[in-house]
């Protein structure tokens, strides 16, 4: 079994949290997820803090701007990119402060190339996805920008191990040819699995850090994620119907960030670490793998982002995930 770049029995967050106070968000994360904290994202801060605007901010020599409420390729950097860069700089300054002396593994997140290609408009109209050459340029630009971002985080937290999560919510639609055109009357041509994996691999091989690919979808494209040379896949356990690909991924030594904790209260109740741990253990037992592998190969997470949750629920949920990881590692 490989030496995974996180401690046994670890728990982490997916990315987004509610509110606009980045200092408080990071205090919560470092307090409740000490084994694998993540750099939280606060989309309530507006454009540039959203998944697409923030991800596009990492692109090198491929500027974007907001036009009619959508991100599109621009001729030159403008106020929208300045705002995006300012928000990221504040986040990293806080990370430097909150993570002072931290020597564990820290996770950072960014939108992946396929989600950006399916969401950013060309200047002439239509998504970048319609033009394979534009997708290639975007991927190369993102790979360089995320390499710089990882290096910047390392300078700020010199004792830490950096893990990069690529958020790819649009990847299943890209593979299935279900990304609608602007008219809504048709869809862009499907991208085949090897091509999708090749673009992702451009990023995973360039960034200089282990990569987790996150995708909350019933049709989780695990083969693409594996072929992209990712270290792990992150997913919502409640959406998974077919366990065979999960078993094959475990056999292939892919790490799993298992979204086993609900992002909203169920029946008005706060999450319990025992129930979260049991959901993960039940998955593992059904697949028939040795129990000793579980705490090394699996990281416990919420089902998805928490931007829509209350601050009180977020704190309770992250604490429960951390305790669930401890329960798993003590078996």
Indicate the pLDDT class of residue 182, thresholds 50, 70 and 90: confident
Mean pLDDT, residues 277-295: 95
Mean pLDDT, residues 199-225: 96
Helix segments in the chain, DSSP class H: 22-32, 51-56, 79-98, 113-117, 132-156, 171-176, 193-206, 222-227, 244-251, 273-287, 294-297, 311-330
Mean pLDDT, residues 291-318: 95
- Per-residue model confidence (pLDDT) at position 5: 94
Task: Report the C-alpha gap between 129 and 181 in whole angstroms.
Answer: 10
Indicate the pLDDT class of residue 2, thresholds 50, 70 and 90: confident
Output the CATH code of domain 22-330.
3.20.20.210
Task: Report the C-alpha gap between 251 and 88 in whole angstroms.
Answer: 37
Residue 331 has pLDDT above 80, yes or no: no
Name residue 123's beta-bridge partners. Answer: none
Mean pLDDT, residues 183-208: 95
Higher-confidence residue of 218 and 56: namely 56
For residue 68, is it left (φ>0), alpha (ψ between -120 and 50) or beta? left
Residue 34: burial class (beta carbons within 10 Å; 0-12, 13-18, 19+) = middle
Contacts of 266 (CB under 8 A, 6+ apart): none
- Per-residue model confidence (pLDDT) at position 196: 98
Query: What average pLDDT does the chain have?
Result: 95
Task: Report the C-alpha gap between 155 and 291 in whole angstroms.
Answer: 37
**pLDDT tens digits for range 5-16:** 999 999 999 999
The rounded percent of the chain whose pLDDT value lies above 90 is 92
Which pairs from 230-234 meet CB under 8 Å and 24+ separation? 230/166, 230/200, 230/204, 230/254, 231/4, 231/5, 231/163, 231/255, 232/4, 232/256, 232/257, 232/299, 233/257, 234/14, 234/165, 234/259, 234/301
- Find out whether 295 and 329 touch, Cβ atoms under 8 Å: yes
Mean pLDDT, residues 149-155: 98
- Per-residue model confidence (pLDDT) at position 125: 87
**pLDDT tens digits for range 116-138:** 999 999 998 899 999 999 999 99
DSSP string, 103-164: -SEEEEEEE-HHHHHTTSBPTTSSBGGG-HHHHHHHHHHHHHHHHHHHHHHHHHSTTSEEEE
Mean pLDDT, residues 84-90: 97
Residue 267 has pLDDT above 90, yes or no: no
The rounded percent of the chain whose pLDDT value lies above 70 is 99
- Per-residue model confidence (pLDDT) at position 322: 98
Indicate the pLDDT class of residue 183, thresholds 50, 70 and 90: confident
- Per-residue model confidence (pLDDT) at position 270: 79
With CA atoms as reference, report the closest residue to 11 among 231, 280, 309: 280
- Per-residue model confidence (pLDDT) at position 197: 98
Indicate the pLDDT class of residue 266, thresholds 50, 70 and 90: confident
Record the pTM.
Answer: 0.96
Mean pLDDT, residues 206-220: 95
- Per-residue model confidence (pLDDT) at position 330: 87
Task: Report the C-alpha gap between 250 and 104 in whole angstroms.
Answer: 24
Mean pLDDT, residues 216-234: 95
Task: Report the C-alpha gap between 244 and 238 in whole angstroms.
Answer: 15
The backbone torsions φ and ψ at residue 11, rounded to the nearest 5 degrees and listed phi first, read -135, 150
**pLDDT tens digits for range 33-59:** 999 999 999 999 999 999 999 999 999
Structural domain spans, the chain: 22-330
């Amino acid at each position: 079994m490989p030496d995974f770049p996180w401690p046994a029995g670890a728990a982490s967050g997916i990315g987004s949290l509610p509110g606009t106070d980045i200092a408080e968000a990071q205090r919560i994360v470092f307090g409740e997820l000490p084994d694998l904290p993540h750099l939280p994202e606060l989309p309530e801060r507006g454009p540039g803090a959203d998944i697409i605007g923030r991800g596009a901010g990492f692109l090198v020599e491929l500027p974007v701007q907001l036009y009619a409420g959508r991100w599109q390729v621009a001729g030159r950097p403008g106020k929208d990119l300045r705002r995006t860069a300012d928000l990221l700089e504040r986040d990293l300054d806080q990370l430097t402060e909150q993570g002072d002396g931290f020597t564990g593994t820290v996770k950072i997140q960014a939108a992946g190339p396929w989600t950006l290609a399916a969401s950013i408009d060309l200047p002439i109209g239509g998504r970048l996805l319609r033009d394979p050459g534009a997708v290639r340029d975007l991927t190369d630009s993102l790979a360089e920008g995320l390499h710089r971002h990882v290096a910047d985080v390392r300078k700020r937290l010199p004792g830490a191990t950096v893990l990069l999560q690529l958020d790819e919510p649009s990847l299943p639609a890209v593979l299935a040819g279900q990304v609608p055109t602007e008219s809504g009357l048709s869809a862009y041509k499907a991208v085949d699995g090897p091509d999708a994996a090749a673009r992702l691999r451009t990023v995973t091989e360039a960034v200089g850090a282990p990569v987790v690919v996150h995708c909350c979808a019933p049709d989780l494209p695990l083969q693409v994620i594996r072929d992209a040379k990712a270290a792990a896949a992150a997913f919502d356990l409640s959406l998974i119907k077919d366990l065979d690909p999960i078993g094959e991924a475990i056999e292939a030594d892919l790490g799993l960030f298992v979204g086993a904790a609900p992002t909203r209260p169920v029946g008005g109740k706060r999450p319990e670490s025992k129930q979260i741990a049991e959901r993960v253990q039940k998955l593992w037992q059904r697949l028939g793998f040795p129990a000793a592998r579980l705490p090394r190969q699996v990281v416990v997470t919420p089902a998805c982002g928490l931007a829509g949750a209350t601050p009180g629920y977020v704190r309770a949920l992250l604490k429960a995930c951390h305790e669930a990881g401890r329960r798993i590692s003590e078996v």
